[in-house]
Amino acid sequence: MAENRAVLNEGDENEMEIFGYKTERWRKVLCLLGYIFSIGFLKLLFYWKPELDVWSHCIPCSLAEADTVLLQTTGEFKDYTKKSVIQVNLHRTTKTGYPIISDENSNVCKSIVEPEGQVRYVQVQKIRYIWIPSESKFMKSGVLEEGLSCSNIHSKYGFGLTKEEQKVRQQICGLNTITVKIIPVWRLLSKEVLNPFYVFQAYSLCIWIATTYIEYSLAILFMTTMSICATVYNLRKQSVKLHKMTASYNSILVSVLHKNGELEEVKSQSLVPGDVIVLVGNKLYLPCDAILISGACTVNEAMLTGESIPVSKIPLPNINNSIPWMAHSGDDYKKHVLYCGTEVVQTKRNSQDIVKAVVLQTGFNTAKGDLVRAILYNKPMNVKLHREAIRFLMVLVAFSLLGVMYTAVVHKMNGASVHDIILMSFLMLTVGVNAALPASLTLCLLYGQIRLKKHGIFCISPQKINLAGQLNLACFDKTGTLTEDILDLYGVLPCEKRCFQDMIFCTSSNNLCWCLLLQAMTSCHSLIKLDGKLQGDPLDLKMFDGTGWELEDYKAKIKEEGPPNICTMVKPGPTAAKAPIEGILILHQFPFSSSLQRMTVITQVIAESNMTVFMKGAPEMVVRFCKPETVPNSFSKKLDYYTVQGFRVIGLAYRSMQKGLPMSSDIEREEVECDLTFLGLLILENRLKPETNSVLQELSEANIRVVMITGDNLQTAVTVGKKSGMLPSNSNIIMLDACEPEKDLPASLTWKSLTESQANGNHSKTKLHTNESHINVGGGWINNPTVLGNFHFALTGKSYQVLTQHFSNLLPKILLNGTIFARMTPKQKSSLIEELQKLDYFVGMCGDGANDCGALKMSHVGISLSELEASVASPFTSKITNIECVPVLIKEGRNTLASSFSIFKFLTMFQLIGIVCIIFLFWKQTFLGNYQYLMQDLAINITIALTMSLNCPASKLATYRPSGHLLSPALLLSIFMHLTFTVIIQSTIFFLLQQQPWYNETDVFSACLPLNQSTENITVREHRHAENFLTTTMFSTTGFHLIIVEIVFAKGRPFRQPLYTNYLLSILIIIQVAVYLFFMFADIDSLYTIMELVCTPYYWRVNILIMVLVLFIVSYVAEVWFIDNRDLWLWIKRMLHYKSKSQYRKMQRRIQKDPEWPPQNRIDYAMQSDPVENCGIVPNIAKESGQTIVTVM
């Protein structure tokens, strides 16, 4: 049989396995009979478990023959989905066999089965996957093929599609809409009601009504109905909100260019991949993802990044090669892509070309659609905790099943009828799971979300609040996060004749005179003027403001034979120094890219024929493109001088071009970014935010490791790390410099040790030691669970990349103490976060820019510093534009996690106390009265569910995290211990009660009568089933016991505020105690009659109260002094030789035994077939976890 399995979205985040099945008629008939005989339960089971539905109705077959497919997620949480295979017949006007699709290699063309003209597809999570017979797999429709080269896109799609091809593509790919339909109330209601929890609730209600618990059943029914209505209302509200958010992108009018040259205005929903759209005017919201092929434009990508800074887009070059266009562009491919939902704020034509873009992706395949799908189909969070919760609930169910067996045996021994035995057994089964558990845990997250909102932190993924409480490593971007977003222009360091000149300090009264350096500062940027105001990157704004020049649009002829183009012109302003020109035209831009670490512009002085290229970027990157004879010998020394003081340093360079500029769309960076002349350095001051030091100190004191991941210079980052306290003054800093293999030399890794020296009271200066001796680490091992030793590694993105490729086994050891990561590209930032997670760190990332989006999404908890209320870049968005939001979020995360566990423990004990009580009552064939149960369930159970998680977080971060394991020894021991106390006190009271002289199972009204009076002289009514001494005693005992565990589990420290700060819960506890004391000592006949209580002697009530007080003291002392005694647990772990199973802990233990770690002032080489003998040195060869390394001292 052909392959019946395939993988969808292989390697992607939403990777799924797909299995083919064919429906069998006889199986359908058998299932139908099963529905009837099981009274619909089998159908309900299939609804919960779609895999059982498929396996019951179908037989496996090849995907080519399948009419049904079963999809399974490949992640840790295995989730199944059933989908039908849809077959459509294409409506075509051309003859069969005539090639409708111009590109025969496209998936659209391959999906058509000739001569029938049929296409098969499945719709999964809003994405259509079409069947490709020639490749025997399903592939995404609605996207342009990734294998297309730059020339393919220009030649095959650059002139548009025919109308016939567009119609066929539309039938195969579907409409270009991001439609989220408003879900009908009946569907939301049925989905909610069919939830397993509510089905169990329905079962419980039926049993309670059958046992005449009418009042309690009605109360639960009312609360359940209100809960369902509230949930349905919120879901409906979200559905309407999401529908409105997406509807605006489905009816945009766009201009489409057809192959015959016709320009037609159509609705955006008719767009298909391969269409050519023409961008005219400004303020246009893009309805699809598209590749810019001619002209240039500026877009606002705040919808994607949360950063409202204009981004320049340039056309895809028409390069004649076979390399896929995305691979050709590398990490910088986004500069050619216009994303759906972003706003085009400005367009610029080049020569005669109009601004054109080829549609790349449509519908839910787009960037906007991806975000909407992320909201619709949330990935399950904290899978391990979820599984532990299921296991724990199964244990409770098993406990209930034992209770069912006990109930059946006891009632049979006492001669109960079969009806009563079955009814009581079913009743015991309802006690297993607390009905308030799901709602309570949901409320806990909701309260946490509300508290965060009060602090200006908005959350779009509440499940991640608990994860925030587990963080033990926090990563920070530098600029705009640790340091001020706004840079101050400190000065300019010109370079002439290969020598640096004196610093020119930039002040409001000291503008630069006319020179090439001034030209570079005025033109090498991506600023635009929008609504009369300059907008762009803060660095560009500060640099341009320092010149005193102005910016405006200008019409200029780039080609003599062509029409004038609108381009940007800069000219001297009123405050600028005099210049002998009218202005400078910025003819073409290669926008700044974090991965390339530079930007370049082509400019022309008005009225001059020659052109000038200016480059701006990281100094180390800029000098690579400069002629060596123009770079000063003291370049590295000067760069270190300023970066070590924490300045942000930018390199500037230029070259002259003769007249004659090729077509803008054909310009390659390599053509202009060569043979540059070094101009000098731009020095900007980047001050620390005032809150940075205190926050980092707070995190450090809480044993939360802090790491800097920045795109800035390494020395600058190290200096900021020292100033901020991230790198302690007494620590040893080891700089790592890894190099790619060169000629006969393999990849190398240099370890350079930095030490601090203090001289003559001056500020500390950094000295680089290159001697061969090892420097002893005097600080020893510090008491930090996440950092090993008093040393820190600092390295660049280039070195990190080499480490991942050539020193992969050494990388985890370096990450244990890696603190500064500089010159990191966005891709490298995401990779670093992933590598840290592999070491079992719980990683948080805090950043403010588009460059951090990947890292924010990759981390366990991403916090975006943005003024927007909710950034799609990360689950958390803070209006606090500094890192103070990080400890606030961690505190709340710990509070919410601790509250969740406290609620879980209380609701579990609530059920266990009830089960033990029922076991004793069933022994005497009785049970609590309706109103007694109402008291426990409404006055205690429900009120606790609503109020226990109202505690605010502790004001100070503890030095350790709350346990993230539901099945941790401490939690299980706590429940077992309190269960033991329950059994002891209830069994004690059960047996003591029966030994009292006044105890009688039939005469229940004589215990409080005087000694000389008997019930024979008074009229006594017939007592009800629940009116007896045992139920009255058990009601008081279990009620007080529930209040005790409520107080014990609601304690605050160290992760929450104390119990008394939760005013509502404190008041409710006082009321509960008062009410139970009132019931205990009231002696009001009418009240006792309603509550089905009987009077007992005062001494017995006092005895119960004394036992309850003893129980409270024992429970509280045991919980606080034993269960919550961290020192005791650490001692137990030491006695049992318990070792943490976290990867970073295991590695720390191994490294502690290595006397040569960390290496200092040496060079390591990755071993190749021909090692470094040719260098004339004798290497020391060592093996590092299976990887051979050559060490040169």
The secondary structure of the chain in percent helix, strand, coil, rounded to multiples of 5, reads 40, 20, 35
The pLDDT assigned to 871 comes to: 54
Per-residue tokens: 1126: 């961290």
The answer to whether residues 897 and 466 touch, using CB atoms and an 8 Å cutoff, is yes
Residues 1006-1010 have a mean pLDDT of 71
pLDDT, residue 32, reads: 92
pLDDT above 90: percentage of residues in the chain: 19
Mean pLDDT of the chain: 81
Per-residue model confidence as pLDDT tens digits over 634-653: 898 888 888 878 788 899 99
Count of C-beta atoms within a 10 Å radius of residue 1070: 10
Q: What is the average pLDDT across 126-135?
A: 88
**Amino acid code (one letter) for 158:** G
Look at the block and give the residue holding tokens 């095959």.
Answer: 156
Confidence of residue 99 (pLDDT cuts 50, 70, 90): low
DSSP per residue over 236-254, as a string?
HHHHHHHHHHHHTTSS-EE
Q: Is the pLDDT of residue 714 over 70?
A: yes
> For 43-47, what is the mean pLDDT?
88
Q: How many Å apart are CA 79 and CA 51, to the nearest integer?
A: 9
Q: Which residue has the tokens 């019946």?
A: 4
Average pLDDT (659-668) is 58
- The better pLDDT of the pair 895, 824 is held by 895
Query: Which of 153-167, 745-759, 1094-1108 reaches the highest mean pLDDT?
Result: 1094-1108
Identify whether the C-beta of residue 807 lies closer than 8 Å to the C-beta of residue 1166.
yes
CA dihedral over 796, 798, 802, 804, signed as positive or negative:
positive
Flag the least confident range among 375-389, 703-717, 827-841.
375-389
Q: What is the pLDDT of residue 788?
A: 54
Give the span between the Cα atoms of 213 and 819, in whole angstroms: 63
Burial state string for 420-436 with b = 16 or more CB within 10 A and e = fewer than 16: bbebbbbbbbbbbbbbb
Q: Which of 103, 289, 477, 852 is catalytic?
A: 477
Would the pLDDT of 563 be above 80?
no
Q: Give tens-digit pLDDT for 732-769.
A: 889 898 888 877 788 888 888 875 433 333 333 333 33
Q: Assign 774 a pLDDT band (cuts: 50, 70, 90).
A: very low
Whether 1107 and 985 have beta carbons less than 8 Å apart is answered as yes
| Rounded distance between C-alpha atoms, residue 599 and residue 592, angstroms | 4
Report how far residue 375's alpha carbon sits from residue 126's, in angstroms, rounded to the nearest whole number: 12
pLDDT at 300 over 90: no
Distance CA 586, CA 616 (A): 14
Tokens 């190749």 correspond to 1168
What is the rounded distance in angstroms from the CA atom of residue 1087 to the CA atom of residue 1079?
Answer: 8
Kindly state the helix (H) or strand (E) to which residue 58 belongs, with its residue range: strand 58-60
Q: Strands of 365-521 (E only): list them.
A: 457-459, 473-476, 488-496, 499-500, 504-505
Alpha-carbon span 783 to 786, nearest angstrom: 9
Indicate whether 457 pLDDT > 70: yes
Contact 16, 80 (CB under 8 A): no
Residues sharing a CB contact under 8 Å with residue 854, sequence separation 6 or more, in sequence order: 826, 827, 829, 830
Q: Pick the more confident residue, 460 or 478.
A: 478
Evaluate whether 921 touches 933 at the Cβ level (below 8 Å). Answer: no
Over residues 367-381, mean pLDDT: 73
Which tops the pLDDT comparison, 493 or 222?
A: 493
Query: Is the confidence at residue 317, as pLDDT, over 50?
Result: yes
DSSP-derived letter for residue 687 is P
Six-digit token string for 973: 């021991």
* pLDDT band for position 704 (cuts 50, 70, 90): very high
Element (H, E) at 478: none
C-alpha span between 1 and 506 (Å, rounded): 77
Tens of pLDDT, residues 965-993: 888 888 889 999 999 999 999 999 999 99
**pLDDT > 70: percent of the chain:** 86
Contact in structure between 659 and 559 (CB atoms under 8 Å): no
For residue 938, give both structure tokens.
């409404």
Q: Strands 58-60 and 748-757: what pairing?
A: unpaired
Type of residue numbered 329: S
Provide the pLDDT confidence category of residue 772 given band limits of 50, 70 and 90. very low
Q: What is the mean pLDDT of residues 924-947?
A: 83
Residue 1029 to residue 1051: CA distance in whole angstroms: 34
Q: How far is it, in rounded angstroms, from Cα 698 to Cα 484? A: 20
Give the pLDDT band of residue 560 (cuts 50, 70, 90).
Answer: low
pLDDT for the residue 100:
66
Residue 1 has pLDDT above 80, yes or no: no
pLDDT at 303: 66
Q: How confident is the model at residue 660 (pLDDT cuts 50, 70, 90)?
A: low
Q: Which SS3 state, helix, strand or coil, does residue 1155 take?
A: coil
Tell me how far apart the alpha carbons of residues 772 and 769 are, in angstroms, rounded to a whole number.
Answer: 9
The answer, yes or no, to whether residue 314 has pLDDT greater than 80, is yes
Active site residue 485: no
Q: Is the pLDDT of residue 477 over 70?
A: yes
